[in-house]
Amino acid sequence: MSKSVLLSGSTIGILGGGQLGQMLSMAASRLGFKTHVFEPSANPPASNVSSIFTQAEYDDYKALEQFSSSVDVVTYEFENIPTGALDIIERQCEIFPSREALKISQDRLLEKEFINKLGFKTANFYEVSTQEDLTHAIDQVGTPSILKTRRFGYDGKGQLKLESASQAEDIWKESSAKDLILEGFVNFSREFSVIGSRSKDGQISCFDPGENVHKEGILRTTTVPANLTVQQKTEAVLITAKILESLNYVGVIGIEFFLEKNSLVINEFAPRVHNSGHWTQNGCTVDQFEQHIRAITGWKLGNAERHSDIIMENLIGDDIYKTNKLVADGSLALHLYGKADVNPGRKMGHFNRIKK
């Protein structure tokens, strides 16, 4: 095996200890890898299933240096990692997916410009930093539209919907951030996503597109197969491959699409394993977590073929109190994150129901 291939027994560093870190760690362990999870908060989900856990802030450079010297490669489970932390890590080991992919996906403006440059469609958008910009953006983009923070948004946070131009002043006052974009509202008939992956030697593999339903900006369910034509699925997979290629990407990516009339509009992408890919845990031989671990360790990718039809449902906030009922239904594959505090909108677990 070449030098860039890590053998079982090597240690994978994971930035972020949430449920994605937990499931990455479990997949790594199945392949004989050790994991070292770095996370600022105490007792995160991944700390229960990692070989080493460091609780430290992302500006604790000493802790970051120790972390980097203890691992053979570094990956991350969320995209809002401070650049300074990555600068420290990169002195000692490689980070996958690359800094470039991370940089683009961290900023909705760069992300949309990147996608348009490749020739793919996004919502109309306009950069907004001042109230005058907002007025101008409304002229360009129209209403309804959504004012979004360029950075740090997730699960619909940092978004304000604008129904008419007359709301501009109120919306501006309500928005505390100043690095924003105004996005035209996409009148979509469906939302779906493709979980793609690319190995170090350029092999590309995509899971079957999953159809997503969001409520209040948070993913509720993913259903496979998605209700799309073969042509639409093929187009989405080809777009995913093109994005992976153009970034010389290594790892798993989650790309969110809108279907508007008959055309595919890209919403955003995440340079990591993705909530809408959780169905792969029970619908495929090799799931998205293992695929990511295979990619970043230089292994060949696994077979992403779907063997079952699946509905994945998230357990959000109080949904966790349904657990007893879900346990009683022995036909569900339950995945619980072990989070102690139940808050509205917090992802507590999910389950996969096999349809056939």
Ligand X SMILES: Nc1ncnc2c1ncn2[C@@H]1O[C@H](COP(=O)(O)OP(=O)(O)O)[C@@H](O)[C@H]1O
- 267 belongs to the binding site for ligand X (CB under 6 A): yes
Least distance in angstroms from the C-beta of 284 to ligand X: 23
Cβ closer to ligand X: 59 or 163? 163
Choice from 79, 208, 256, 313 touching ligand X (CB under 6 A): 256
The answer to whether residue 346 forms part of the interface with ligand X (CB under 6 A) is no
Shortest CB 224 distance to ligand X, Å: 17
Count CA atoms within 13 Å of residue 100 on its CB side.
Answer: 9
CB of 35 to ligand X, least distance (A): 26
Burial 107-120 (b: 16+ CB within 10 A, else e): bbbebbebbeeeeb
| Closer to ligand X by Cβ: residue 12 or 102 | 102
Residues 155-184 that bind ligand X (CB under 6 A): 155-156, 183
Around 116, how many Cα atoms within 13 Å sit in the side-chain half-sphere?
10
CB of 12 within 8 A of CB of 72? yes
- Scanning 87-95, 135-143, 173-181, 185-193 for contacts with ligand X by CB under 6 A, the matching segment is 185-193
Q: H or E stretch including 221? A: strand 218-224
Residues 125-144 that bind ligand X (CB under 6 A): none
* Neighbour tally for 3: CB within 10 Å: 6
**Which residues within the stretch 16-75 sit at the binding site for ligand X (CB under 6 A)?**
none
x/- letters, 212..231, toward ligand X (CB under 6 A): --x--x--------------
Q: Does 338 bind ligand X (CB under 6 A)?
A: no
Q: Please, is 231 exposed, middle or buried when counting C-beta atoms within 10 Å of its C-beta (0-12, 13-18, 19+)?
A: exposed
Q: Which one, 212 or 297, has the nearer CB to ligand X? A: 212
Per-residue CA distances from 80 to 86, 112, 274 (Å): 11, 17, 14
Q: Which of 151, 185, 332, 338 binds ligand X (CB under 6 A)?
A: 185
Residue span binding ligand X (CB under 6 A) among the ranges 19-27, 76-84, 92-100, 146-154: 146-154
Q: Give SS3 for 42.
A: coil
Q: How far is CA 141 from CA 116, 117, 135, 164, in A?
A: 16, 19, 10, 11
- Which of 12, 115, 123, 315 is the binder for ligand X (CB under 6 A)? 123
Segment near ligand X (CB under 6 A), from 29-37, 152-160, 238-246, 273-281? Answer: 152-160
- Cα separation, 307 vs 206, in Å, equals 14
Toward ligand X, which CB reaches closer, 191 or 211? 191
CB of 173 to ligand X, least distance (A): 22
Nearer to ligand X, 61 or 185 (CB): 185
When asked if residue 186 is in the footprint of ligand X (CB under 6 A), the reply is yes
Q: Which residue in 127, 133, 179, 268 binds ligand X (CB under 6 A)?
A: 268
Among the listed ranges 132-140, 150-158, 272-280, 283-291, the one in contact with ligand X (CB under 6 A) is: 150-158
Q: Which of 37, 63, 32 is nearest to 52 (CA)?
A: 37
Site for ligand X, residues 292 to 311, rule: CB under 6 A? none
From the CB of residue 94, how many other CB atoms can be counted at a distance below 10 Å?
Answer: 14
261 phi, psi to nearest 5 deg: 50, -115
The C-alpha torsion from 18 through 19 and 23 to 26, rounded to 10°, is: 60
Nearest Cα residue to 292 out of 310, 309, 280: 280
Site for ligand X in 191-210 (CB under 6 A): 191
Total residues at the site for ligand X (CB under 6 A)? 15
Q: What residues line the site for ligand X (CB under 6 A)?
A: 123, 146, 153-156, 183, 185-186, 191, 214, 217, 256, 267-268
